[in-house]
């Protein structure tokens, strides 16, 4: 496995590279030549004789048994079929042909070939690209097959095409944007989770924004044609910078590469000095007609930067749906505290903010005589207490700290920490909900870490409203404000995972997700902002926002499966903390993105803005969000009255 020889820093399936082959009656030899001899990982091969036509067999009435259109399943072991062969459905089939005989032959053959592939335990089959822009009958037959099978993936072959002219004429056979063809097909198949894409990558590429759409789709393979390769100075195949960037994107999104076509480079016999050419010359793949192409793809993979430690840790969380924490209603467990306390960058930012607040609160000449009252509300196991005391030491200020925590289990750890560090004369531990505590004195500074992935979704506004009564009129709150943001996404995998629950409730629930296989369709926009302290007399934590998103004009059409939610917080003055993509705090992992699904995905076109409505609703014992799309086509209002998802007060 050439691409995987790095030693496994990344567990993506993109480590595997296949080769497209012609039909071969001798399957063991075909496998041996391409895998054992050349180090390709799998073959993309026809499973049936391409000359077979059911109508021709009908004419031969003497045929009294099943025609020998394929070889025996015994020529390979089940594990070989499963691991090393992707079936290629006959490319001649055209289920939307005007020719009735061809249409019927196509339908019969498609079902026979899928049935045979299923019998062989092949994991996936490549479906030929629709012959025109009309594909309703093709999609109907594929959908019938998908309804009756649960153990095979179908990859629809789609050319990677997008012209600069955005005026689509779907009645014509000319394909201006192949994404439109894919979208029509998968809509007809009801977004089936076993239907994916295999992209035919050609010598010319669409714009970067147009390409970006595909990373949120269910793309399983990228078929790179040999005529897409250029020739380097030494006569070996290489790819343009844009193609290289695209291939790296495929690697990062677990998309397998397939080399297709006949060799178009006549390789020189001279030895190479470059690292890539040394790999080629020293490897047995050079004996294979496409070996140099495989080695070049392997070279691109091998020169990628290793994943950072944090990314390696988060690999298992990519696109996995998780329920947001409810730390006000539930007591967090030790493992959760342990994970968050390892986020060094978060506490560095808090310490910076506290330092600035201490310097502003007490001038240098009064530093040794004035005790600043600082309250950590929601102290957990003490990381903010430590950051506060370190800030005091750094600035030369004197502190009197109250550590307020409602979780009795965390309070046990707090007492142990205070005793261990010798903070008994500085830190007072209060085992109480901050909303119900009667403080013995007013605070100069109020410090909290109550922020969720959407800013206010862990009820920071409600908690700090309750704590504000023991903050001095001119006191400082850290954080001083925070804003939530949303961004429309194509997120096919996540949508199918939500859909698998087969109920409305899961489509009306917000999830915490480490987003990966998604396409961000437009820049994020601010939604709700909260400021602390809030001294207004008519304050309310209910919010409503209408937003309009417009995609870049060269993107083309796209599908919206839901919205990513982020936050950006001002801790104090110029000290920020957040996960909004354009201002994200680097090297911080305490928060994954929040995701708001749509029950029915919305197709948006370049000339049709996406109008979105978001509400933050408050009841006597819960807070919840409602959301909907109003344009280009209305969606239902999700989570009405908090019927599916809410945060308990």
SS3 assignment, position 570? strand
What's the CA gap between 468 and 533, in Å, rounded? 7
pLDDT at position 431 is 94
Return the half-sphere exposure (C-beta side, CA atoms, 13 A cut-off) of residue 430: 19
Residue 477 has pLDDT above 90, yes or no: yes
Cα 423 to Cα 337, 391, 393, 402, 557: the distances in Å are: 21, 15, 13, 11, 60
pLDDT tens digits, residue range 499-527?
999 999 999 999 999 999 999 999 999 99
Sign of CA dihedral 405, 406, 407, 411: positive
If pLDDT is split at 50, 70 and 90, which confidence band does 420 have?
A: very high
**Could you tell me the pLDDT band of residue 575, with boundaries at 50, 70 and 90?**
very high
107 in catalytic set: no
Give the mean pLDDT of the chain: 89
**What pLDDT score was predicted for residue 7?**
44
144: CB partners within 8 A, 6+ apart:
none
Average pLDDT over residues 60-69: 52
The answer to whether residues 558 and 490 touch, using CB atoms and an 8 Å cutoff, is: yes
Q: Pairing state of beta strands 543-549 and 471-478?
A: unpaired
User: What confidence category does residue 3 fall into, taking pLDDT thresholds of 50, 70 and 90?
Assistant: low
Half-sphere exposure of 416 (CA within 13 A, CB side): 8
Instruction: Return d(Cα 242, Cα 249) in angstroms, integer.
Output: 11
Q: Specify binding-site residues for S-adenosyl-L-methionine.
A: 337, 346-347, 405, 433-434
The residues, any chain, with a CB within 8 Å of residue 75's CB and separated by 6 or more, are: 27, 28
Distance CA 617, CA 597 (A): 18
Q: How confident is the model at residue 168 (pLDDT cuts 50, 70, 90)?
A: very low
* Cis peptide, bond prior to residue 632, ω within 30 of zero: yes
* Alpha-carbon dihedral 585, 588, 592, 594, rounded to 10 degrees: -30
- Kindly state the average pLDDT of the residues 114-122: 92
- Predicted confidence at residue 280, as pLDDT, reads 44
pLDDT at 284: 53
Ranking 118-127, 439-448, 530-539 by mean pLDDT, the lowest is 530-539
Backbone torsion region of residue 22, taken as left when φ is above 0, otherwise alpha when ψ lies between -120 and 50, otherwise beta: beta
Mean per-residue pLDDT, 622-630: 97
Taking 50 as the threshold, does the pLDDT of residue 547 lie above it?
yes
Q: Tell me the average pLDDT across 169-186.
A: 77
Mark whether 449 is an active-site residue. yes
Give the helix ranges, DSSP H, for 316-407.
334-341, 344-361, 383-395
CB 299 within 8 A of CB 262: no
Q: Which helix (H) or strand (E) holds 153?
A: strand 153-159
Residue range 109-128: mean pLDDT, rounded:
93
> Does residue 127 contact residue 119 with C-beta atoms inside 8 Å?
no
- Judge whether residue 201 has pLDDT over 60: yes
∠ Cα 622 623 627 (to 5°): 140
User: Does the pLDDT value for residue 189 go beyond 80?
Assistant: yes
Contact assessment for residue 396 and residue 366, using Cβ atoms and an 8 Å cutoff: no
Cα separation, 88 vs 94, in Å, equals 15
Catalytic residue among 458, 508, 580, 626: 458
Is 268's pLDDT higher than 80?
no
pLDDT of 56 strictly over 80 = no
The region of weakest confidence among 61-70, 299-308, 321-330, 628-637 is 61-70
- Using the structure block, give the residue that is written with the tokens 């437009």: 522
Task: Give first-to-last CA distance, the chain, whole Å.
Answer: 54
- Structural domains of the chain, ranges and CATH numbers in brackets: 11-267 (3.20.20.150), 334-449 (3.40.50.150), 481-648 (2.70.160.11)
Averaged pLDDT, 165-194: 78
Tokens of 577: 């903390």
> Residue ranges for the binding site?
337, 346-347, 405, 433-434
Catalytic option among 107, 113, 180, 449: 449
């Amino acid at each position: 496995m050439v691409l995987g020889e790095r030693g496994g820093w990344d567990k993506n399936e993109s480590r595997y590279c296949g080769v497209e082959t012609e039909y071969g009656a001798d399957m063991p030899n075909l496998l041996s030549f391409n895998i054992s001899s050349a180090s390709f990982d799998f073959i993309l091969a026809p499973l049936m004789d391409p000359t077979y036509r059911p109508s021709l067999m009908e004419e031969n009435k003497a045929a009294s048994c099943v025609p020998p259109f394929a070889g025996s399943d015994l020529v390979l072991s089940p594990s070989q079929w499963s691991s090393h062969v992707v079936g290629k459905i006959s490319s001649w089939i055209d289920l939307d042909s005007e020719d009735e005989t061809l249409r019927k032959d196509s339908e019969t053959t498609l079902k026979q070939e899928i049935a045979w592939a299923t019998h062989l335990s092949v994991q996936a089959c490549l479906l030929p690209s629709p012959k025109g822009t009309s594909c309703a009958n093709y999609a109907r037959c594929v959908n019938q097959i998908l309804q009756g099978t649960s153990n095979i993936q179908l990859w629809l072959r789609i050319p990677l095409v997008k012209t600069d002219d955005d005026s689509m004429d779907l009645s014509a056979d000319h394909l201006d944007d192949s994404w439109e063809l894919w979208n029509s097909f998968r809509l007809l198949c009801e977004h089936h989770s076993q239907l994916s894409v295999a992209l035919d990558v050609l010598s010319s590429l669409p714009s970067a924004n147009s390409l970006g759409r595909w990373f949120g789709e269910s793309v399983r393979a990228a078929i790179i044609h040999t005529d897409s390769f250029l020739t380097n100075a030494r006569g070996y195949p290489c790819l343009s910078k844009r193609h290289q960037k695209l291939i790296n994107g495929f690697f990062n999104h677990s998309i397998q590469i397939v080399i297709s076509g006949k060799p178009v480079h006549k390789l020189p016999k001279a030895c190479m000095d470059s690292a890539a050419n040394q790999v080629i010359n020293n490897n047995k793949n050079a004996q294979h007609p496409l070996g140099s192409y495989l080695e070049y793809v392997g070279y691109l993979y091998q020169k990628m930067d290793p994943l950072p430690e944090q990314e390696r840790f988060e690999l298992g969380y990519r696109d996995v749906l998780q329920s947001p924490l409810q730390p006000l209603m539930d007591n967090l467990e030790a493992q959760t505290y342990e994970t968050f306390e390892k986020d060094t960058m978060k506490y560095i930012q808090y310490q910076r903010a506290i330092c600035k607040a201490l310097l502003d609160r007490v001038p240098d000449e009064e530093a040794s005589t004035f005790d600043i009252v600082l309250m950590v509300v929601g102290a957990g196991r003490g990381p903010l207490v430590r950051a506060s005391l370190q800030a005091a030491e750094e600035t030369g200020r004197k502190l009197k700290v109250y550590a307020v925590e409602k979780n009795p289990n965390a309070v046990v750890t707090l007492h142990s920490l205070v005793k261990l560090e010798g903070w008994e004369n500085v830190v007072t531990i209060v085992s109480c909900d901050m909303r119900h505590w009667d403080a013995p004195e007013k605070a100069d500074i109020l410090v909290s870490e109550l922020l969720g992935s959407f800013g206010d979704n862990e009820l920071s506004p409600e908690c700090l409203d309750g704590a504000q009564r023991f903050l001095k009129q001119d006191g400082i709150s850290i954080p001083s404000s925070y804003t939530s943001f949303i961004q429309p996404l194509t997120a096919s995998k996540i949508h199918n995972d939500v859909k698998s629950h087969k109920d409305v409730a899961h489509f009306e629930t917000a999830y915490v997700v480490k987003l990966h296989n998604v396409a961000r369709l437009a820049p994020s926009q601010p939604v709700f902002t909260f400021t602390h302290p809030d001294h207004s007399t008519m304050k309310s934590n209910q919010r409503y926002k209408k937003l309009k998103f417009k995609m870049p004009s060269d993107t083309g059409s796209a599908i919206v499966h839901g919205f990513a939610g982020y936050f950006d917080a001002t801790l104090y003055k110029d000290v920020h903390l957040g996960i909004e993509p354009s201002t994200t705090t680097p090297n911080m992992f305490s928060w994954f993105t929040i995701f708001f699904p749509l029950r029915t995905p919305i197709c948006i076109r370049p000339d049709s803005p996406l109008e979105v409505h978001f509400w933050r609703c408050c009841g006597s014992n819960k807070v919840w969000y409602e959301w909907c799309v109003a344009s280009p086509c209305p969606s239902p209002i999700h989570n009405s009255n908090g019927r599916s998802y809410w945060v308990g007060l």
